[in-house]
Structure 1
Amino acid sequence: MPYAVRLLPPTLSLLALALALAAPAVSAAEGRSAAPVPAADGWSAAPSGGGRPSVYAEGVPGAVLQDTLSVTNRGAGPVTVRLTGTGVPLAFADRRVRVPARTRADVPFTVAVPPGAAPGDRTGTITVRDGAGRTASVAVLLRIGGPRLSALTVEQVAVGADGITYELVNRGTTTLVPRLAVRAQGLLGPVLDRAPRTLPVELPPGRRMRLTEPWPGRPALDAVEVRLTVTAAGGARDTASVTARFVPWPAASAGAGGVLAAGALLVVRRRRSRGAGGC
């Protein structure tokens, strides 16, 4: 048996027996005499060692961490429970455990830190369920060690009919909430100037996200340099720009025989420059 079974102290055993004798009996006229079923509080689950409300594990990517869960049956009859884990990689010595009356079963389990996982905290849950559907839950906190790097780039900037499109890439090891500032400089001065604001997105490590910045009221005739600057906590910063020419339909049709469409724009140049947080 891959888990250890321990008898409860005599005082707890006598208390459980007294409770069982005080419970109403099932009469033979009911036509059933099933095995004793523990009350809703007849068993419990908790991290072994006593006094721990949850499981805490800490390690670097690739580590396998060990701990033990105790299932205590204070009832007058045996109980069989099943163990499942969610949120973090959990593996149990046995997922199905039979705990005799007035006995505690200690079930070893491991928490695996995924290789390449970003530093930070992950949460999970161990759920213990008996045959009657009653459950007990134990929270798991996994803290992943390693260097915390904040790095962000803005790429693929373009001006189109829907506005300014661009891609944000998290090249660090922490989840980022980016801030964006937009400035467009035309031949006669600024035509767009938006102060930095927090975007309603979260960007996990390694993720790429394509976004669009609306631009109503674009110039009808101008050559404009559009500059996007993104920042995030931890010193991440990057800047990219694109130059576009706006040509109105009448001028385009007169000068080019109708080759250009109404409000056409020509993207002629892209530039980018990265700050200290870029990669």
Structure 2
Amino acid sequence: MPELRRHHTRLALSGLFGLLCAVVLSFATPARAADPGWSAEPAAGSTARPGGARPYFYLEGTPGTVLEDRLALSNPTDREHVVTLRGADAYNTGAGALAVRPAARSTGAGSWIGFGAARTVTIPPRTRAVVPFTVTVPPAAAPGDHPVAVVATEAGHEAAVRVHLRVSGPVLAALTVEHASVSGKGAAAVIHYTLVNRGNVALAPELSVRAEGLFGEVPGRTLRTLPVELLPGQRVELSEPWPGAPVLDDVRLTLTVTAPGGARATTTASAWFVPWGLVGWIGAGLLVPGAAALVAHLLVRTRRASRAAPPADADGPSDGPGAHAEPHVTEHELTGAPR
């Protein structure tokens, strides 16, 4: 029973992203100007949802087994279409979207997918073709999730259907959050960070942000599910709006990321918020009286120094041994300086 509950939990989590994945993977390749006139989707089966529709495949097996499923290709047009099929590795782009690798670079679990003699399929007009395929799990396959897709191609147009493939065995949900920083200020402030999946299962991460300033706690971000499915071994760079950022404060941020399965990670970042425009106006206001006070101080010191000099005899040297003549110094009045 616990294993059955875990299986249903995995299906439920996969369902949160199933429709998104089907759509994202379909336009992970460059967009085409014209509709190809055909579509690809999982064929209805015993695990189909109500109505017979499945937005993705879900397959699980032990190392060394061969898994089977069927792909449906629909051609509602009045002309024939010839479609080529292949398996492909799925991955996260740097921004977190899901994409598929080209044929030459699908050397992982995508190469486990085979179509036998049906790699190229001709679909007659107004026909729905069902094509079986297999996933041959190598005996030494590592346990955990192996994100792949079935890709159909014709005349440069590609449509990819997600395959949630899991190899039975011990699983580990683990992640780290790294390189946190803040850009912008006020309502335009943005928190930047990197998520890394350190485990062997796909994760649906949740993020919360706590902020502590010099004057107490600052509004951060409450716990929310991030719009990304983080695949095993993948790294994504994300950003988070922070409308509660202060105008003037020294803030310490604590980012906490969690995911089903017990994954949890935290990191911190510091950010100064200074309204430099206001500081410039205040500085300019203080500069003028400060400069005036400095000039007045220098004038006073100069006047005192001239008054302290000994008077000189204009008619000649003074009496007494060792006396010598000094030039007569006329004392000038320094106007504008306090006495």
TM-score range, shorter chain: 0.3 to 0.5
Structure number having the greater helix percentage: 2
Structure number having the greater strand percentage: 1
Structure 2 length-normalised TM: 0.40
Larger radius of gyration: 2
